[in-house]
Structure formats: structure tokens, C-alpha cells
Amino acid sequence: MIGLFDSGVGGLSVWRELYKVLPQEKYLYFSDAGHCPYGPKSKEEIILRAKTITEYLIGNGAEIIVVACNTATAASIEYLRGNYNIPFVGMEPAVKPAAINTRTGAIGVLATKGTFKGELYLRTLHKFASNAKVLEQVGEGLVELVENGEVETPKAKELIGRYVRPMLEANVDHIVLGCTHYPFLEKTIREIVGDGVEIVNPAPAIARRALQVLQERKRSSVQEFGQNTFVTTGDNMEVLEAMVGEIAPDDYKGFVFRKIEI
């Protein structure tokens, strides 16, 4: 079983890539909406949540955990890898492909405060983007829009416009989505930035990495019948179900959705 977790529904952008290529696998998705957003939280607070969630996922059969949240990866992946004996796949800020492929020499990164503060981001920046001009923007309020199912509203347009306009003025040709919630805002972002800007979503690459890790574990059999379970600590069940339903319209009625308190 593959466990995934995020502060809310954002990690579904990674689950949908995995589900596309491996629909027969078992997934346990943990939405920590009762503690969302993670972005402004301290590293210590996030590690505590990551520990609780990891133990829940392992206790329920997860053999590999995808930390489907950039902020949680930044704060806790080293701790998790050092303390639990299963593989963890974390989110990488996709600065590398943007910095390699830019023609204008300017790229934009949208992420949470926690991700920008993390060592992982700073290291990636130093390693791959020292020649590019990088415009960083904290996406304050965007996670909440996705959690509330307000992705194509005037409010979303106004906020995104405010965040990406300075990037466009600086002539960026790539905008990196450094938070797993943001791919669900891609349509609105696209409307504002037009066709000339590449929007970089790292989720497919992270899903490929998770598959590779799974194969390395050389499991003898794949489950014959898939089962997808989605748990949440928050009150976002309606939005969670609706988003899963959009991703897997033919299958989601057989999925399990549960509210939990931990």
C-alpha cells in the first residue's frame, strides 16, 4: 500500500498521477485539513504532525510514504527518513527544469513560506539556478482557496493576478508550482499568464520516482483489486470527495472516505 499525506487536498495532485499509471495499487491518502495550512507553521510543529501521520499510515499498512506536500517535505523528510524504516518520497521544488529551460533567464516560483525557508529549496536554488533571475512569491491564501473549492472564482483570479503580475513584468517564461495545492489552480493561472509561460508542476516526476522506489522493493504481487481510502482530520470531506470524483469519475464510488481525529 502507498501512503500519501498533505495538509489537505493538495497531495491529490500527486495521487492523480500515481493513480493514472497504477490504478490497481492500494492507496491511503491522509488529508490533515484539521491542521491546514502548514505554510506558516514552525518546523517543529510540522515534524510533530508528520510523525503522527506517518505512524497512522504505517499502522494501516503503508509500505512506502509519499510526502505529497512541499512544506512538509522541507520540514520533516530528513527526520522521517532517519526514524522510520520504510522509503519516503518527498516533493522537489521543480526549480531545476525551469532554470535549465528558461530562454529569458527569469523564472518565477510560487510556494509557501515554509518551503522558501527550507534548506532543500535553498540548496536547489544554489545548485541549479545560480544563473537565473528567480522571482519568489509566497502564495498566501491560495491553499485556503483550494481547500474551500474556490479555484475558479473572482477571488482566486484577483489573488493569483496579484502574485504573478510582477513575475510577468520581470519577463519570466517559467512559473514553478512549489506547492501541491497549486496545480488545482492551473486553469486560472493559465488564463492570467497566457500561453507564453510554462507552468511547471512537479507532480508527474514525483509520481515516477515513487513508482521507481516501489519497483526497487521487488514485491512479488500487485494487489488484484485496488482500494483507495481517503481520510481527513478536517471538515473538508465534501471538497475532498468532489476532487477525487473529478480525478476518477468512473471509480470513486467504490472508494472509502473517512473523517478521523488524531
Pairing of strands 27-31, 88-90: unpaired
- Give 138's Cβ-side CA count (13 Å radius): 13
Give the whole-angstrom CA distance, residue 215 versus residue 245: 28
Minimum distance, C-beta of residue 113 to ligand DGL, in the bound complex (Å)? 8
Per CB under 6 A, does 177 bind ligand DGL? no
69 is catalytic: yes
Contact string 26-65 vs ligand DGL (x = CB under 6 A): ----------xxxx--------------------------
Instruction: With beta carbons less than 8 A apart as the criterion, state whether 255 and 27 touch.
Output: no
Characterise 194 by phi-psi region: left (phi > 0), alpha (psi -120 to 50), beta (else): left
Contact string 129-158 vs ligand DGL (x = CB under 6 A): --------------x---------------
Instruction: With beta carbons less than 8 A apart as the criterion, state whether 2 and 23 touch.
Output: no
Stretch that binds ligand DGL, among 45-53, 118-126, 178-186, 202-210 (CB under 6 A): 178-186
Instruction: With beta carbons less than 8 A apart as the criterion, state whether 78 and 69 touch.
Output: no
Give the whole-angstrom CA distance, residue 220 versus residue 223: 10
| Catalytic residue from among 36, 64, 69, 99 | 69
Taking the least distance from each CB to ligand DGL, the nearer of 173 and 234 is 234
Q: How far is CA 127 from the centre of its chain?
A: 22
With CB under 6 A as the contact rule, the residue among 33, 179, 197, 200 that binds ligand DGL is 179
Per CB under 6 A, does 10 bind ligand DGL? yes
Question: Which residues, numbered 187-246, are part of the site for ligand DGL (CB under 6 A)?
Answer: none
179 is catalytic: yes
Taking the least distance from each CB to ligand DGL, the nearer of 62 and 91 is 91
Give the whole-angstrom CA distance, residue 178 versus residue 67: 14
- Catalytic residue numbers, as ranges: 69, 179
